[in-house]
Amino acid sequence: MPDTEWFVHDRFGLFIHWGIYALPARHEWIKNRELISDEAYQKYFDHFDPDLYNRRPGLRRPAAPA
């Protein structure tokens, strides 16, 4: 296992944005900034199912800082 002491020492954190707002794949404030109506945004609510979330396929380990 690689040495991760730098991670704790440097207080580096990683937050993965995941939720309904992630479906359009632009930014978390999409509804507000792009002035999307509730009716147009509904398709994301209809499609989003947190029980189907599987982080493994698209997640790769972040690289250590140079």
pLDDT for 49:
81
Confidence band for 57, pLDDT divided at 50, 70 and 90: low
Average pLDDT over every residue of 28-52: 86
Confidence band for 48, pLDDT divided at 50, 70 and 90: confident
Which amino acid belongs to residue 50?
P
Q: Taking 90 as the threshold, does the pLDDT of residue 26 lie above it?
A: no
The Cα-based distances of 60 to 2, 6, 16, 54 in angstroms read: 15, 19, 12, 13
The answer to whether the predicted template modeling score (pTM) of the entire model surpasses 0.75 is no
